[in-house]
Amino acid sequence: AAGDGRLETVGGETTVEMTLQEAIHDGEAIAAGRLAAHVSAARADATLTLSATAGGIDADANATVEDPFGAPVWRLNVTVEADAASPVWAALASPAPQSGRAKLSVAADGQTPPRATAAGSAPLLRLLDSQATGTADLTVTDVSVPDRVTGLDARARLAMTAAAGVVTLRLPEDATLAATHVSPAFLQSLGMPTEIVDQFGKGVAARLTPLSADQPVAIASRDGDLAVVALDGTLALTVPDGTDLSLTFPADIRAGGDRVSGQLRKPAELRLNKFRYGGIAELLAPAVVALTEAKATVGAEAAGDDGLDYRVVLDSPALRLRLHRQGADPVDTTVTPGRITATPGGGEIAGARVELPAHRLVADGLSATVASADNETRIDFQAADIRQTGAEPLFAPIAMTGRANRKGDVWQATATAKGPGGVGRITAKATHDGATARGQAHVILEPLVYKPGGAQPGALVPVLNVLQETTGTSSGEADLSWTSQGMQGTATLSLADLSFTAQQTRVEGLNLDVHLDSLLPPASPPRQTLTVRRLEPGLPLERLDIRFQIQPTDPPSLAVETAQVFFGSGRFSLADLVIDPAATGQQVTLRVQDLSLAELFALLGLEGLSGDGRLSGTIPIDFAGGNVVIENGRLAADAPGTIRFRSEQAAQILADQGESLDLVLRALEDFRYDELTVDLEKSAADVGRLKLSLLGKNPAVLEGYPFRFNISIEANTGKLVTALTTIYQVPNDLLRRAWTSGR
């Protein structure tokens, strides 16, 4: 420092009056001011005024000490004001603000014990033995720092008392901090996640409120150590439209030498009133997270790496969250984190649970252990029970175990899932690059062999419990990939030579090959195949062949390109049909080709009626509300043929009914038809009716005179309807069961 003034000592009293022309730091003049002091054996008074040479900061201080060389009784007042031009920002290693002011005022008075009786000679330890009171007021007004913060305002008052070696600090009123904008890039440079920092663009407000004036911060000297009991208070943080939380922190801290340690005096609470994690997740209902244990040690004696040792235990209740997915509707979930324990280089999660009510999914008994070292992390995890809730779950409960390893930004993971009793095995391998937010996974459903008395489809898919005595094999695999924009994937499923009995129907040789080129939503290319060697829904059907495509509707629909099944020499087929499992009804036009007339009569069970020839035509079928309705179904003979009706019972009944009926019976005994049609009708209430129309002659009757007959036949058409509808019912039932179970 450089200046001029006077120093005078008279009769044991010293007077100092000095004008500081400049205070020099590192060869540069930084401040100027005035110092005045008067010291005697009984009293000392001093005042100091400083102003920065370049402006921007002013400081005033005055102090009075009575009995300065014995047991000093003192009083101190200090006021420092700084604006944007102040050099104090550089001294604090902070960039200079563009605008704003900061002011700190300290007022204190008390008595310090004589040096000989103090706990130690260090000034701080002598201060701890003082009897003193004081206040410190900090005010920050409209401070804006480029690329960091805009419109920063802060208010805080700290009250202090010192007695018997203990310094206590209180907040006599709330301390507040607010800013109109905080730079996300600046917060990111401090290590805060991007999903959180984006919220601060709208500003932030924080409030520190003491819960009780009886629980201040206490600082005590203990053999050269400092023991600190942290303030029992609440820190509240609010970000517009993003976060509203508060934290209580009753902790004890002890510092001495090169070691600082602390622990909770009682459980702390984190109250989440509102919380958003970027555009990914938001809290739907307030929650309280308990910090049941927290202790930490920093210093050379700490056991952990980098001189840090800690243990933190969190117990969290169920958190109701809404997850937002790009290009899809949000999903509500309930997450119970369970107990979370964190220690240096690791931690564990126990008793966690995740629920997705909209998808009827629950993952229970989730646990994980984490170990980190040298920029590598390993996580071993397991899920005891992954299941779908409801009366008809799509899959049986699954247990899963796995491991994930991180090197730098890259994660690699493997997982294995099994059904009840270890039936069925699914393995997965995944890679994720945290730097690019890109990843991929390959999932394999290992071949599962079904056999009576062993594994059955219902063990993994309960809705398939209707399949009994199953033999055959199932397998599949899927490839998934994802970015920050969402997930996509492909999959294949194969059923090989599957045979089973279901609801009095025997299915033999079912083969299914499905390739999905999209999983969310499910979709496939055209020409997927389902074939069945033999199907017996009360009568034998052979060679069921369906070509189809899964369309990405909501719910997924099945576009049947072609479908056919053979009954004897005849073929039933349909084409260009879209099956919607959510629809209450469906209209189908069935095409019949080369159906043997003899097989039709045998199917109807008409005694004494036989014939030859083949029928073709179309049968419109309406499936509505579980009923089958047929209107205007017509089959016609492809060429002339013969009908024979020879029934002794019918002849006896009609023997005395007249000559015309006798003529009809004789003509039908060997009727050579030129035209033959069969009209089929069935309402929702009856089993169906047929009308047989014939044009032809019997050469032995009336010298071959032509007859036209219209004969209504009432017969049990149940088997015929079953045969006609099977080609539609098989894919429809499979799709409807899958959709109903997956809802």
Mapping DSSP onto H, E and C, the string for 479-544 reads: EEEEECCEEEEEEEEEEEEEEEEECCEEEEEEEEEEEECEECCEECCCCEEEEEEEEECCCCEEEE
Predicted local confidence at residue 52, as pLDDT: 74
All residues at 6 or more sequence positions from 414 whose CB lies less than 8 Å from its CB, including other chains = 402, 403, 427, 428, 429, 430
Neighbours of 336 (CB within 10 A): 15
DSSP secondary-structure letter at 10?
Answer: E
DSSP string, 544-609: EEEEEEEE--SS-EEEEEEEEEEETTEEEEEEEEEE-TT-SEEEEEEEEEEEEHHHHHHHHT-TTE
Predicted local confidence at residue 615, as pLDDT: 95
CA dihedral 563, 565, 571, 572 (to 10 degrees): -60
Helix (H, G, I), strand (E, B) or coil at 669: coil
Neighbours of 389 (CB within 10 A): 12
Long-range pairs for 314-319 at CB < 8 Å and ≥24 separation?
Answer: 314/289, 314/290, 314/339, 314/340, 314/341, 314/342, 315/289, 315/290, 315/339, 315/340, 316/287, 316/289, 316/290, 316/340, 317/287, 317/288, 317/289, 318/287, 318/353, 319/272, 319/283, 319/287
**Can you list the residues of the chain whose pLDDT is less than 70?**
1-3, 21-30, 53-55, 87-94, 115-129, 165-167, 191, 193-195, 210-233, 241, 255-257, 300-306, 326-327, 648-659, 715-716, 734-743
Residue in 153, 160, 159 with CA at minimum distance from that of residue 173:
159
Report the C-alpha gap between 368 and 341 in whole angstroms. Answer: 10
Report the C-alpha gap between 615 and 598 in whole angstroms. Answer: 10
Helix (H, G, I), strand (E, B) or coil at 457: helix
All residues at 6 or more sequence positions from 80 whose CB lies less than 8 Å from its CB, including other chains = 57, 58, 59, 103, 104, 105
Predicted local confidence at residue 364, as pLDDT: 94
Q: Is the peptide bond before 521 cis (omega within 30 degrees of 0)?
A: yes
CA distance to 155, 535, 644, 646, per residue, from 542 (Å) = 86, 6, 28, 31
Tokens of 437: 């937010």
Report the C-alpha gap between 496 and 41 in whole angstroms. Answer: 107
CA distance to 203, 417, 441, per residue, from 444 (Å) = 48, 10, 10
Q: Determine the residue type at 613.
A: G
Strand residues in 146-187 grouped as ranges (E): 149-163, 166-170, 175-179, 181-182
Report the C-alpha gap between 402 and 434 in whole angstroms. Answer: 19
Q: Which pLDDT tens digit goes with each residue over 66-79?
A: 988 888 898 999 99
Predicted local confidence at residue 2, as pLDDT: 55
Q: pTM here? A: 0.67
Distance of CA 633 to the CA centre of its chain: 52
Q: Which pLDDT tens digit goes with each residue over 438-496?
A: 999 999 999 999 998 888 888 888 877 888 899 999 999 999 998 877 788 999 999 99
Strand residues in 357-393 grouped as ranges (E): 361-373, 376-388
Report the C-alpha gap between 740 and 458 in whole angstroms. Answer: 16
Report the C-alpha gap between 227 and 308 in whole angstroms. Answer: 19
Neighbours of 526 (CB within 10 A): 10
Report the C-alpha gap between 151 and 129 in whole angstroms. Answer: 41
Distance of CA 593 to the CA centre of its chain: 53
Contact 364, 382 (CB under 8 A): no
Predicted local confidence at residue 314, as pLDDT: 92
Report the C-alpha gap between 367 and 399 in whole angstroms. Answer: 12
Helix (H, G, I), strand (E, B) or coil at 717: coil
Tokens of 445: 């459903």
Contact 33, 48 (CB under 8 A): yes
Neighbours of 450 (CB within 10 A): 20
Report the C-alpha gap between 354 and 364 in whole angstroms. Answer: 7
Report the C-alpha gap between 734 and 507 in whole angstroms. Answer: 14
DSSP string, 248-263: E--EEEEEETTEEEEE
Pairing relation of β-strands 614-624 and 13-25? unpaired
Report the C-alpha gap between 251 and 565 in whole angstroms. Answer: 78
Helix (H, G, I), strand (E, B) or coil at 734: helix
Report the C-alpha gap between 711 and 691 in whole angstroms. Answer: 6
Helix (H, G, I), strand (E, B) or coil at 704: helix
Q: 129: number of CA atoms within 13 Å, CB side?
A: 19
**Residue 192: phi, psi to the nearest 5?**
-80, 140
Strand residues in 198-345 grouped as ranges (E): 204-210, 217-222, 225-229, 233-239, 243-248, 251-256, 259-264, 268-274, 276-277, 281-283, 287-299, 308-316, 319-323, 331-336, 338-343
DSSP secondary-structure letter at 180?
Answer: S
DSSP secondary-structure letter at 718?
Answer: H
Residue in 577, 633, 642 with CA at minimum distance from that of residue 610:
642
Report the C-alpha gap between 475 and 426 in whole angstroms. Answer: 10
Report the C-alpha gap between 279 and 324 in whole angstroms. Answer: 7
- How deeply is 214 buried, as exposed, middle or buried, from its count of CB atoms within 10 A (0-12, 13-18, 19+)? exposed
